[in-house]
Every structure is written in structure tokens, then in C-alpha cells.
Homo-oligomer: A and B are copies of this chain.
Amino acid sequence: MIYIGVDLGGTNIAVGLVDEEGKILLKGSTPTLLERGPEPIIQDMGKLALELLEKGGYTIDDVASIGVGVPGVTNPETGVISFCTNLRWHNVPLTEILSKIIDKPIYIENDATVAALAESVAGVSKGLKNSIFLTLGTGVGGGIIIDGKIYAGTHHVGSELGHMTINVEGIRCTCGNVGCWEQYSSATALIRMGREAAEANPDCLIAKLVGGDLSKIEAKTVIDAAREKDPVAEKVYAKYIYYLAMGIVALINAFDPELFALGGGVSKAGDFLLEPLREEVKKYIFYKDLPYARIELAALGNDAGIIGAAMLGK
């Protein structure tokens, strides 16, 4: 049997046919064109899946299920997307619409949770019982695997790990909470901290790398400048690592997973992220003499969305 995985993003809809081991057999994508509203977008998911089946020489009878990862909160029992803030979707009956195109079991889930599942089936956390996936991008997204299965909480509103408070006296978050982790450990946060430092130190390498146009600072700018040992950038990056470590330490002390898989833009820094992060985590965990979670890069990159969505039905 094959599994269809759909990764719904604000720019593209990516669809893939996936085998039982979580390997992508065939994939394709189509622009989301958000302004159309949910119905044609969801129909496009189904149409693209049917096209891929035909292209691959499969029939609908080869399909076990369809899974969809969405950037928001879902109700897997009703098949309704409760909210997708970035898409401006609210109470969208995804399963009802999609099942008119393909009549197979349909599963929906949050995209970071889906990526956590993908890594747990076919990526860096393959075969582990308990793992946490973190995506360090616009925000900090989280997915939790417990006992080899997705853990999304009682009311399916859990694993919003970027919205754990790490600074009770800190920055107010867009979510209404104070000092949320993602205000300190997302790519956005690294950019903000880099820009503030460059404003205060116009001669620093961060400012030079963007030709003085501080609006062009990216996470990579700060990281590149820190690699070059620019003192201002090194200080910003060390602070970023500290904040990231603090959230991971909280999760170790609370969840004690076997592994953290890091994805998202900032994770592209590779060992330049992992090595200082592991050092920093070691300083602050509760049980310093007992084994604790490994911290690694996620392995599947963008494919995690398709693979994890497909594996929802497995």
C-alpha cells in the first residue's frame, strides 16, 4: 500500500506518494494561491494526488490513506482545521472537502507535529520511543513523540513548545503570553537581536555584511558574522544559544526525551549551532551525572512535511 502525504504551506502545496517505510516514491507541488480561500486549495490537494497516482502507475486501490499537515491547530476527530493563523483559516472542514475528491481515510495534524513523526519514522529519531522535534524558523515550532506516537495533548492544543514562557519579565508575544521561547529562539528573534546589536555598533560585521542596510539582516548574517569571530555577532549568537539551551533544558527536566531533532532555518548552521548548544545545555540540566537527551539536526529537511503527513495513516 502507499500513503499520500500533503504539506500545506502559505506558498505551495506539496504532495507525495510515500511507501510504508516513509520513503517518498513520487512528489509534486502546486502554488497555494491563498487568496482563493480554503475550498479550491483543498480540492487542489486531491487533484494533485490523483495526478501523481496516475503518473506513478498507481490506482486509488493502492492508497491506504491521505494525511495533511497544516500550519495551525487541527481537530483530528472531526477533520476540521480549527485555526491557521498565517493562512487566516478558521474552522475549515478539510476532511469533508477533500473526501469529495478522494474517498480514503483522511488524517490531519499540525505541521511541526507531522515533521516530528516523519523524523521518528524515517529520520534522525527513527525507532526512538520519546523525541522532540523543534523547528527554528519564523517561530519555534514543536512536535512531541511519546512511545513512538504523536503526543498532542488532551484537547489537541499541546506541543506549542515555542509558547512556553522562559522569561516572565520579558517580551510580550503575539499570542498574548509573556516571554515565550520563540521570542528568544526563533530565526526572527536572532534577526531582531542582530539588528539591535548592529544599530548600537554600526561598525560591526553584521552591519557590514548587509552594506549598512539593517533591514536586510537574516539569521544567516548573524551566524556568518559570528563564524568570522566578529565580537558583536559572537555576543549576540552566544545569547541566542543561551536562550535556546534554556528551553531545551526545561524540556529535558520536564519531558526527558531521548533526542531533540532541530530543523528550520537556524539549524542550517549545523555543528556551529550544535556544539555550543550541547555545551550550554550540559551546564544547566538538573541531573548532570545521569544520561540525558542527545541534540541532533533533523534529517529529512522539507520532505518531513510530506513524509510525516503520509505516515499519519500508518
Q: Mark A234-269, 1 if CB is under 8 A from B, else 0.
A: 000000001100110111111111100000000000
Q: Is the CB of B254 within 8 A of A158?
A: yes
The reply on A215 being an interface residue by CB < 8 A is no
With a CB–CB cut-off of 8 A, which chain B residues contact A157?
A: 252-253, 256, 286-287, 290-292
**Residue A283 at the chain B interface, CB threshold 8 Å:** yes
Shortest Cβ gap from A79 to chain B (Å): 16
Query: Which chain B residue lies CB-closest to A291?
Result: B155
Cα(A129)–Cα(B176), bound, Å: 28
User: Which residues in window 149-206 of A have CB below 8 A to B?
Assistant: 151-161, 163-170, 175-179, 184
Inter-chain contacts of A151 with B (CB < 8 A): 146
Residue A130, interface by CB 8 Å: yes
Query: Given the complex, which residues of B lie within 8 Å of A247, measured CB to CB?
Result: 165
**A149: min CB distance to chain B, Å:** 9
* A46 contacts the other chain (CB 8 A): no
Give the distance in Å from the alpha carbon of A203 to the alpha carbon of B73 in the complex.
Answer: 51
User: From A132, which residue of chain B is reached at the shortest CB distance?
Assistant: B254
Q: When chains A and B are docked, how far (Å) is the Cα of A94 from the Cα of B35?
A: 65
Cross-interface CB contact of A130 among B154, B176, B288, B291, cutoff 8 Å = B154
Name the contact of A167 in the complex, choosing from B73, B163, B168, B249 (C-beta under 8 A).
Answer: B168
Residues of B within 8 A of A158 (CB): 252-256
Flag if B160 contacts A254 (CB, 8 Å).
yes
Determine if B253 and A160 form an interchain contact, defined as CB atoms under 8 angstroms apart: yes
CB neighbours of A154 from chain B (8 A): 129-130, 256-258, 293
Interface: A272 (CB within 8 A): no
Does any Cβ of B come within 8 Å of A284's Cβ?
yes
A284 lies within 8 A of B178 (CB): yes
Distance in Å: Cβ of A242 to nearest Cβ of chain B: 7
- Quick one: given A165-B250, A169-B167, A246-B165, are A153 and B82 in contact (CB under 8 Å)? no
- The interface of chain A, by Cβ under 8 A from chain B, is 73, 82-83, 129-130, 142, 144, 146-147, 151-161, 163-170, 175-179, 184, 242-243, 246-247, 249-258, 283-288, 290-293
Residue pairs across A and B with Cβ atoms less than 8 A apart, 17 shown, are A129-B154, A146-B146, A153-B257, A155-B292, A157-B256, A157-B290, A157-B291, A157-B292, A160-B253, A160-B254, A160-B286, A161-B253, A161-B254, A163-B286, A166-B166, A168-B170, A176-B283
